[in-house]
Amino acid sequence: MSFWQSPQRLLQLINRGRNFRFNSLKTFVSLFLIGTVFSLTLAACSGGGANNSTSGDAGADKGASPVAAKTGDVQLTLVSFAVTKAAHEAIIPKFTEQWQKEHSQKVTFKTSYGGSGSQTRAVIDGLEADIVHLALALDTTRIEKAGLIQPGWEKEAPNDGIVSKSVAALVTREGNPKGIKTWSDLGKDGIKVITADPKTSGVARWNFLALWNSAIKSGADEAKATEFVTKVYNNVPLLTKDAREATDAFFKQNQGDALINYENEIILAEQKGEKVSYVIPDVNISIDNPIAVVDKNVDKHGNREVAEAFVKFLYTPAAQQEFAKVGFRPVDETVAQTKEVKDKYPVVKTLGTVQDFGGWNGAQKKFFEDGAIFDKIQAAKKRA
């Protein structure tokens, strides 16, 4: 602190001034100026609370002020992949009701649903999501690498951040006229398969891994697995941009003999009154969907507390039951073991995971990067 910023030093000077006479106008003026500076210094010190308040308001933009998060309405922006919409529309009112009751604070949501890959790009490009619920951890990692999510996000929530899961289903025409029951049937001559493009769709990457996994788990080496998956993609008349377009091509445009899709998407279609013929293969892959708080955005918006509370709420039985109702296999074991859930979801005998292929970083490099196995399969298909 400088000389003129020290009230104690100024007091010493004033006290000394009381011990001598004002023999000159110069002395009087000097003491007058000292007293004035002292008064201004005290005023500045007493006004520090106002400065702190201003700093606190600025800090609220960084998530530093818990008061701001509790005294007014809060808005959260949830960005998720398309097939979670029905679940979140049921879960969000439950959370907002509970938060209002416990904190006397209203929480509103802005939501965005779409293909996982496109949603990821939108967040990186500036869509200020507070929470992202995506089809695969690879997409969440891309947002992390863009500097929006702190490393270690997987450990910030239970179950390594996986909040919903499903398996792959083979959808057929009514009565299954082509007799499609296993993955191997998709490689037979005369079968047309509808699926999305793994280069643009997270769901389609899971579909690819399900095919590859089925070959490996059945004893094939990598050469045989590549041969089988190539046969299947040779039977694909078109690769759609995302899973929803694939579903529309199969059901609305009547293309293909079989559709590879999420089990939960098929269950939801049935609940909407559609008659669907499908099979869940005994060899399958666990389609795991992660949840994460977007650190940079919640700190900017000052809503971290509520965002983290919502993520935590998604793991509760109340929320997991809603996921289960619309076709997702619950990650909460108490919900998974209920009779209703057991009756709805057949047991998969051989269930692989992306970890079997080195996690998403390994799988992406091996299968989906430019020039990797999927591109080689497509190139061979074009030559044929």
- If you average pLDDT over every residue of the chain, what do you get? 84
What is the Cα–Cα distance from 87 to 95, expressed in whole angstroms? 13
Count CB neighbours of 109 within 10 A.
18
Residue 216: what residue type?
Answer: I
Q: How confident is the model at residue 93 (pLDDT cuts 50, 70, 90)?
A: very high
Please report the pLDDT score of residue 220 as a whole number: 96
Whether residue 381 has pLDDT greater than 80 = no
Buried b (16+ CB within 10 A) or exposed e, 321-352: bbbbbbbbbbbbeebeeeeebeeebeebeeeb
Biggest CA-to-CA distance, the chain: 117
Whether residue 32 has pLDDT greater than 90 = no
Please report the pLDDT score of residue 205 as a whole number: 92
Q: How confident is the model at residue 39 (pLDDT cuts 50, 70, 90)?
A: very low
